Amino acid sequence: MNDFLHKLPEFLRNHLELSLALVALVIALIVTEIMVLLRKYKGLTPAGLTQLINRDNPLLIDLSAIADFEKMHVPGAKHVAMSQFDPEHKDLVKARELPVVVMDKDGRTSDGAAQRLVKAGFTRVYTLTGGVLAWQAAQLPVAKGKN
């Protein structure tokens, strides 16, 4: 360990670009994790969503393309096209006090919808981390068709 500490300054001088890249990556990771902790909605694993479904009967909103939704979706999820997603819609406003879980096929686009729900006054907003593909990979049941 003592030898490592003596050689570290020489390594840093000889590999300045690599050292700066490492520092930049560490800072980026820290900032990303802080942003995740400070956002007003939470990500759920498939196991976490299962617990929420069993405990609180949340509203499940699937923003996947209709073809993907018909191939597979979490049982009980309602399909809403991303272009038609409106947190102020009268049917959605009725569920303002319920937990709401937003998901899509792979978990890439649900964060924006979750942020819109939080801005509209929803207090218990979640996303399914990894989307319906993560649900299926966890070997949980999937539904097919429009319902």
Same domain assignment for residues 64 and 26? no
pLDDT tens, residue by residue, 10-46: 888 899 999 999 999 999 999 989 987 888 899 999 9
Whether pTM > 0.75 for this model: the answer is: yes
**φ and ψ at 15, to 5 degrees?**
-130, 55
Place of tokens 């902790």: 37
% of the chain beyond a pLDDT of 70 = 99
Instruction: Write down the pLDDT at residue 3.
Output: 86
Indicate if 63 and 15 belong to the same structural domain.
no
95 phi and psi, to 5 degrees? -100, 20
Question: How sure is the predictor about 76, in pLDDT bands with cuts at 50, 70 and 90?
Answer: very high
Q: Domain residues for 83? A: 41-137
> Per the domain annotation, does 143 fall within a domain?
no
Q: Tokens 């990771």 identify what position?
A: 29
Angle at 7 between CA 27 and CA 13, to 5 degrees: 55
Q: Has residue 100 got a pLDDT over 80?
A: yes
Query: Do 10 and 75 sit in the same domain of this protein?
Result: no
For residue 95, is pLDDT > 90? no
* Domain membership flag for residue 116: yes
Whether residues 70 and 127 share a domain: the answer is yes
CB environment 63-89: b (16+ within 10 A), e (fewer):
bbeeebbeebbbeebebbeeeebebee
Q: Is the pLDDT of residue 88 over 90?
A: no
Domain count, the chain: 2
- Please give the Cα distance from 119 to 88 (Å, whole number): 10
